[in-house]
Amino acid sequence: MSTTFELNGQSVTLDTDPDMALLWAIREKAGLTGTKFGCGIAQCGACTVHIDNVPSRACSIPVSAVEGAKVTTIEGLSGKVAQAVQTSWQNLNVVQCGYCQSGQIMSAVALLSATPKPTDTDIDEAMQGNICRCATYVRIRAAIHDAAKSI
Amino acid sequence: MNMINFPSAKPVKANRRDFLKGGVAGLVIAFTFTPRKLLAADAAAPAKKPVDPNAFVHIAPDSTVTVLIKHLEMGQGVYTGLPTVVAEELDADWSQMRAAHAPADVAKYANLAFGMQGTGGSTALSNSYDQLRQAGAMARAMLVQAAAQAWKVPAAEITVKKGVIAHAASKHTGTFGDFAVAAAKITPPTDVKLKDPKDFTLIGTEIPRLDNVAKTTGTAIYTIDVQRPGMVYAVVARPKRFGGVVKSVDQTKASAIPGVKQIMRIPSGVAVVADSLWTAMKARDALKIEWDDTKAEKRGSAQLWAEYKELAKKPGEVARNDGDAAGALAKAKQVVSAEFEFPFLAHAPMEPLDCVMEAKDGKVEIWAGSQFQTLDHMNAAKVFGVTPDKVTLNTLVSGGSFGRRATPVSDYIVETAEITKAMPAGTPVKLVWTREDDIRGGRYRPMYFHSVKAALNEKGELTAWQHRIVGQSITKGSPFESPGLDGMIVEGAKNLPYTVPNFAMDAHTTNVGVPAHWWRSVGSTHNAYATEAFFDIIAKAAGKEPLEFRRALLGDNKRHRGVLDLAAEKAGWGSKMPANSARGIAVAEAFGTVVAQVAEVSRKPNGGFKVDRIVCAVDCGVAVNPDVIRAQMEGGIGYGLGAILHSQVTLTNGVVDQGNFDAYKSLRIDEMPKIEVYIVPSTNAPTGVGEPGVPPAGPAVANAILALTGKPVTKLPMLQGSSV
Ligand code: FES
Ligand code: FES
């Protein structure tokens, strides 16, 4: 079955098994590997993408569900908020292994787009679906506050 | 076919004394002897070979300097720390530095602490420090020599600063790129002079990580991201119980799924190969497999605990015996005792285990986040029946490891090799373990039971410490096994830093069919907890203040005292805490690095507790990159906290109960405390930081809870099954 949607600003039609998770369609069919697999059951956030600007776990959404939707992955991030987030992440040396960070950044961009000056509680709420096994949480929090200053 | 000599599983006996003396961990002893024997083809001791700068430093015509990293970048910062050391001696500008993994080549890239290529024991920087300083200084001398020849001026008059080569008198200036080709033809000098540390301009500064941009834009390529033309995807159905084997497979339904390419039996189970991972996973679910569990481990956690507790009543194999602990206990004014339970722990690196491989015309190419390159290289070659020179192993950055990828048997790489061998020649195969495969697939920090007793005399002095540990050996049955008690069971406890006149430690090594493995900080994961939490239980019984009691018994252990004092001072130790909150302190040495932490814990209004703040002091010798050290302490604390608060793998009739992050819980951002890290200034050679942040976190929290509630926390994880 084929599904047509907008992926990072471009219209794409992917021919897949209809119940294939969006994650695998993006990674293996569209060849965009920035979105990661960590759990497959919406527990870790490594696969976070934006679907119509809402942060969503691509591992737990069938590709057929995004027909006609606008999907943004880490590769397609752009704009002031995204840039501020990535710059703060780099300036504060947030990453360790880095594997969770595409998902962390996608969640952080969504948070700051909706709440430009988040409190620690806002951060806890928006980010607790993203596991970082390297436990870079101290810096994730600091980088979100840092990015908020420059937006 | 020419076969090389594979691990005979009969290595020489290790000298356990040595590693305990220096506090250097078990990994090191295990590796100092075995690989030499394995690698008869390259018997030369790598440590004695002169440094070859060309093996480590590549200078391109565009002046970029690429440092070849012989270790695995799995998050701990070797892609930044090692280039810093080269750039320092090379006088390069940081902006021109790059990092890339070195190929698998034990002759050039052995870990000098192991004698084989591999990463572990927090040795990456410490074993590379002198080597890379040399390499950087030699490369610099070669560039200077090339410039001197081109400009026809004396080499001694040439200066190098921030990547610019200059001769003041003749007003010549040039870049590294200008002389890269000419320099490569010069014989590396052997008598280079290294910088005086006081002249360092990069070492000791907070330069940004080199992998920052790739890892924040989704462009870093991990093994799971490797794409090859015509690649197929594989998953493996493994037995439910450790030691089970396939009895029969009904693959009718699975084979009918479009996209399934092949279903095959391999030694570890049944592999499904398909045109996408999704299809492979779906087909695996559709397999009907009957397992033969005759030889499988069928005991559950409850039964194992009961057996461990029985064993703990009897004397075990002696690890250390000073004085007469039993005698002192018999004469004690007061005997203090405690029993600790530590569960199995999975590593759960964020990137699950994965490997890409292709084989054609007798040659094999591998892409993997390989942590033991030498063994992975050899084990893969063995499957194909070729010599390692026919196998190219490309090491990729990995999404964590925490020890998991450092397997002596190269489990996931051997599986990929078995599948690749069975596929048509030239077919690239990507094997991925799902999270359930990872949590249920074994190789855990083993479960351990500790039974500890201490004697106090009339004056409240600690006169005896008797400590018994029950649990699995990590090296048993592996090529790293050595006769006698596995030092990894007792490391971090046997070398108790406190002066106790009568000290006895013994251990029972249990036979359990669950694969045991080193987990970030190895023996110290449980031993630091048991000793440091017990220490506060003793202090309480003796009516002593925990920090002062520690200081009094630390004897000559100045570094322990130093980190304790620093952490205590910065945390405001002794100052009043708000109601319903308390502090705890703990210190531990692991891999030559000493770390103390003060934890602040408060009661939550609706029950339970929260870790609010951890103040950490670390003594790791010269701080090559203070920010990377802080990051490793923060990460180590978070990793340790997740485990002590939440994580456990349990078994029911031999089957693992947990499968994913819903049940095998990890620390999340809302539970991460505020963390402050202070580094003790030092001119000693650098020691590792990847693991030593983990051990003190658990006992510091336990000691804060003891102070808060009066109750010791002796059963982990704290938030399941404990009374807190
Ligand atoms: S992979 Fe989707 S949430 Fe973990
Ligand atoms: S940086 Fe490694 S999992 Fe987050």
Q: Which letter does DSSP use for residue B447 in this model?
A: P
pLDDT tens per residue, range B516-534: 999 999 999 999 999 999 9
Contact between chains at B218 and A33 (C-beta distance less than 8 A): yes
SS3 B649: strand
pLDDT tens per residue, range B567-622: 999 999 999 999 999 999 999 999 999 999 999 999 998 889 999 999 999 999 99
Which CATH code is given to the segment(s) A2-76?
Answer: 3.10.20.30
B435–chain A Cβ distance below 8 A for any pair: yes
Mean pLDDT of A48-63: 97
d(CA B273, CA B235): 7
Q: Which helix (H) or strand (E) holds B384?
A: helix B373-384
d(CA B261, CA A98): 33
Question: Beta partners for B336?
Answer: B454
**pLDDT at residue B48, as a whole number:** 56
> Locate tokens 């102070």: which residue?
B707
> Locate tokens 């373990």: which residue?
B433
Tell me: do B341 and B284 sit in the same domain.
no
**pLDDT at residue A129, as a whole number:** 98
Contact between chains at B399 and A36 (C-beta distance less than 8 A): yes
- What range defines the domain where residue B192 resides? 16-203
CATH code of the domain containing B329: 3.30.365.10
Tell me: do B363 and B338 sit in the same domain.
no
Tell me: do B416 and B448 sit in the same domain.
no
Q: Return the residue in A138, A139, A140, A144 with the most chain B beta carbons within 10 A, the one to mutate for interface testing.
A: A138
Tell me: do B318 and B175 sit in the same domain.
no
For residue B108, what pLDDT band results from cuts at 50, 70 and 90?
very high
B653 domain-assigned: yes
Which of B205, B261, B119 has its CA nearest to residue B690? B119
Question: The whole model's pTM is what?
Answer: 0.93
**pLDDT at residue B45, as a whole number:** 41
pLDDT tens per residue, range B213-247: 999 999 999 999 999 999 999 999 999 999 999 99
Which of B303, B306, B264 has its CA nearest to residue B283? B264
pLDDT tens per residue, range B697-713: 999 999 999 999 999 99
**pLDDT at residue B29, as a whole number:** 25
Window A:89-108, CB contacts with B under 8 Å: 89-91, 93-102, 105
Give me the interface pTM, i.e. the ipTM: 0.98
Strands (DSSP E) found in B630-708 = 651-652, 655-656, 674-679
Smallest Cα distance from B80 to chain A, Å: 11
pLDDT tens per residue, range B653-711: 999 999 999 999 999 999 999 999 999 999 898 999 999 999 999 999 999 999 999 99
Contact between chains at B216 and A86 (C-beta distance less than 8 A): yes
Number of domains in chain B: 3
Tell me: do B193 and B233 sit in the same domain.
no
Q: How many whole angstroms from its chain centre is CA A122? A: 17
The structure tokens listed for B402 are: 């925490």
Average confidence score pLDDT of chain A = 97
Q: Of residues B626 and B22, which shows the higher confidence score?
A: B626
**pLDDT at residue B30, as a whole number:** 28
Which of B693, B702, B724, B554 has its CA nearest to residue B75? B693
Tell how far the Cα of B693 is from the centroid of ligand 1, in angstroms. Answer: 28
d(CA B218, CA B212): 10
d(CA B425, CA B382): 17
Which CATH code is given to the segment(s) A80-149?
Answer: 1.10.150.120
Tell me: do B271 and B387 sit in the same domain.
yes
Residue B642 has pLDDT above 90, yes or no: yes
B372 domain-assigned: yes
Alpha carbons within 13 A on the beta-carbon side of B60: 9
Residue B42 has pLDDT above 80, yes or no: no
Residue B72 has pLDDT above 80, yes or no: yes
Q: Of residues A88 and B50, which shows the higher confidence score?
A: A88
Task: Answer for the pair B651, B600: CB distance below 8 angstroms, yes or no.
Answer: no
Q: Say what percent of chain A tops pLDDT 90.
A: 97
B635–chain A Cβ distance below 8 A for any pair: yes
For residue B34, what pLDDT band results from cuts at 50, 70 and 90?
very low
Window A:40-59, CB contacts with B under 8 Å: 40-41, 43-44, 46
Q: Say what percent of chain B tops pLDDT 70.
A: 93
B497 domain-assigned: yes
Burial tier of B343 (Cβ tally within 10 Å: 0-12, 13-18, 19+): buried
Residue A106 has pLDDT above 90, yes or no: yes
A62–chain B Cβ distance below 8 A for any pair: no
Task: Answer for the pair B562, B626: CB distance below 8 angstroms, yes or no.
Answer: no
B215 domain-assigned: no
**pLDDT at residue B618, as a whole number:** 98
Instruction: Please tell me which of the candidates B208, B435, B670 has its beta carbon nearest to residue A39.
Output: B435
